[in-house]
Each structure stands twice: as C-alpha cells, then as structure tokens.
Amino acid sequence: MTVGARKIRVLIVDDSALARRAISDALSDDSEIEVVGAASDAYGARDEILALQPDVVTLDLEMPRMDGLTFLKILQEHYPVPVVVVSSLTPSGSAKALEALAAGAIDVLPKPDGTGNLGQLAHQLAYHVKAAAYSRRESRHLRPASAQAVLARPAIRPGSFSARRAILIGSSTGGVEALRFLLPHLPDGLPPIVVVQHIPANFSRILAEHLNGLCPFTVREAVDGDELRPGLCLLAPGDFHVALVAAGVGRGYRVRLAQSPPVHHCRPSVDVLFRSAAELAGDQAVAALLTGMGVDGARGLQMLRAAGSRTLAEDEESCVVFGMPQAAIKLGAAEEVVTLERMPGAILRALAKTSSNET
C-alpha cells in the first residue's frame, strides 16, 4: 500500500529521543513507509510539516512548550494532515487521547517504552499509519455536527425482547468517534449490546466510562463471565477477545474473555464476537460493522447473515476508512448498507423486523 506510486511519508513528533528512535525503527521495517523526519516539540514539528509535507504525523501528547493536544487542534484547523497519537495511555493520558480523537486524530497507540516487542510494535504502528494515510478527512469532519441530529425512531417496546436477543457492533479506525455518535442515539431498554472496537489495553476502560456518561443505558468494559441483560452495553477490553457463551436455559448469554492469538492481527477481534454469536443467536441477533481498515468482522458478519441475523454495514460516504465494511459488502454479508447518521434507526428497524422470530 502506497500513496499513489510512492511510499507513505511519516513525520515523528515526540520529545523523547528514545521514543523517536523506537518509532522510527519500527516504521522503517515496513517497505511501504518512509520516515522523512522527526521533531522534539510542536514548534519544530510545524517547520518540518511545512518543509516536508508528510502524509501522516505521529504525535505525542506530553511535550514541552506546547502540549500535543493544543498542537493537534491548531494543526487540524490550518493544515489537516492525518495524525496518529502515540502517547502514554495512563488514565490521565487516555483521557487526553480521547479528547485528541474528538479533535481530529485518526487513531491512538500506546507509546513505546523500549522494553516491548519491536516486531509487534512495528506491525501495529505500520497498520495505523497506513489507515491514517487512507482515511477520509471529510468523513471525520461530519461527525461533530451529526451528533446534533434528531433521528426518527420506529416504535419499540423497551424490555419486550427475549433473552436470546443481542446487538453486536464492530469497528476499528474511526470507530471511537462513530461509537460516540451511534450509541447515544439508541434508546434504553433494548437487548444487550456488545461492542468490539480495536483499541489498546488501558484505553478501553476510559472509553467505556466516557460512553456511559453519554448514553441512556449502562456502558462498561466487559469482565469475563458477565451476563448480558437489557439496558447493558459491554465494550471488549483492549488486548482481549470477547465471545458469547450460553448462560443457561432461558437466560441468554455470558461473555468469555480470552487472550488467544490475534485474528487478522487484531485482539480484540470483531470476527471472534460475530462468529460466536452466529453459532448461538441465529436469527435473534442484529449486527453492525462500522468504519475500519482491514477485513476483520467481514466473515463473521457473513456467518451471522447465513444464520438468519439482521446485518448492517456502514457505507463508504461516512466511513473514515472503508475497509472492514467494504470487505463485508463484497462477501454479500450486509443485508443493508447505511450511513453512520442512519445507523441508529437501521438498528431499531432491524430489531422490529425480527421481533416475530423470537421464541
């Protein structure tokens, strides 16, 4: 993957020489990426961006003179180059990273500390840099305004669903902002929701807490053995797969967490969740595959549709990266393809359509 016929040009911005070296070494392992420069603070980054015109910037948030979040906001206003945040994901750092995504960053990664596996770091960085290089800027800018939209909702009787019902959502690049739009536009009293967002460890809890404050139902990070119930949304923890298992006769499902090998280089993987639901839920599930790079979730969505579930995919117009939904659409896995703005209504319509199948 290259930008046109050339490599993806990356500028590294970090005040730590150790981190700059680790990021540069990791990205240099990929033949489709070229590190064109580095800067130790925002002022140096400004000059380098103007001189080098990189395709992607990796940005630390904790820097002297001007913090990365302030610089990101200025950058997105005057020179909206795609940015991947590479920063410390402590609780306070995760909160800043969440704000950075709202300010226009494409994705978030934990900052290398020199002790991790360089090969794994190289793959993760390269994956996110490529996703950023092919992101759609106009889609990102639509989202804040979309949060003000008033959506027509089909008549739903909250709490009227059987224990076998579940709503499943998968997303990756651009997915945090997509979830911040989608979930608050769903009403309380729906069947349980399980979300897999490709996300670093330590960041998923902060995201769940943030979403919980926006939604009319409870949102929290999943814990192994959690039993699903109406009015509860569980978010897969970073670095853990989540799957559905039977909770017992007439009791619906529990979640099982595992650190088995990554699927499509992802952990958590959307396919792990979708495939487990296809085996258990059959025609009682509604699944939506949102923005993201790669193919994770496409086969699982195909299995869900074959089992009778209602399946949705986000369309190219609103996707930050039209990778995962496109792969599903090509497989014929999506029963309906809709914009993010129409996704809440589509989920509710899908629930209403399948209510007659409940047993």
Q: Which helix (H) or strand (E) holds 257?
A: strand 253-258
Structure tokens at 113: 């500390």
Q: Which helix (H) or strand (E) holds 256?
A: strand 253-258
CB 166, CB 244: distance < 8 Å? yes
Angle at CA of residue 1, ends 200 and 329, nearest 5°: 75
**Do 270 and 130 belong together in one domain?**
no
Q: Half-sphere exposure (CA, 13 Å, Cβ side) for 283?
A: 9
Identify whether residues 124 and 180 lie together within a single domain: no
In a domain, 28, yes or no: yes
Domain housing 269: 166-357
- The span from the CA of 18 to the CA of 13, in Å, is 12
- State mean pLDDT over 267-284: 96
Q: Which residues pair with 167 in a beta bridge?
A: 193, 286
337-355 per-residue burial string, b: 16 or more CB within 10 A, e: under 16: bbbbbbbbbbbbbbbeebe
Same domain for 109 and 175, yes or no, is: no
More confident residue, 162 or 166: 166
**pLDDT tens profile 167-225:** 999 999 999 999 999 999 999 999 999 999 999 988 999 999 999 999 999 999 999 99
Rounded distance between C-alpha atoms, residue 29 and residue 206, angstroms: 32
> In 3-state terms, what secondary structure has residue 278?
helix
pLDDT (tens digit per residue) in 322-336: 999 999 999 999 999
Checking phi first, is residue 239 left (phi over 0); if not, alpha (psi -120 to 50) or beta?
left
Question: What's 250's domain CATH number?
Answer: 3.40.50.180
Backbone phi and psi for residue 171, each to the nearest 5 degrees, phi listed first: -160, 165
Closest residue by Cα to residue 42 from 62, 24, 20, 17: 62
Please provide the average confidence, as pLDDT, over all residues in the chain: 89
In a domain, 42, yes or no: yes
Say yes or no to pLDDT of 358 above 70.
Answer: no
Residues labelled as active-site residues = 172, 198, 296
Contact 251, 227 (CB under 8 A): yes
Model confidence, pTM: 0.91
End position of a domain, from candidates 134, 150, 185: 134
DSSP 66: S
pLDDT of residue 21: 92
Say yes or no to pLDDT of 160 above 80.
Answer: no
**177 and 108 in one domain?**
no
Residues 181 and 329 in one domain: yes
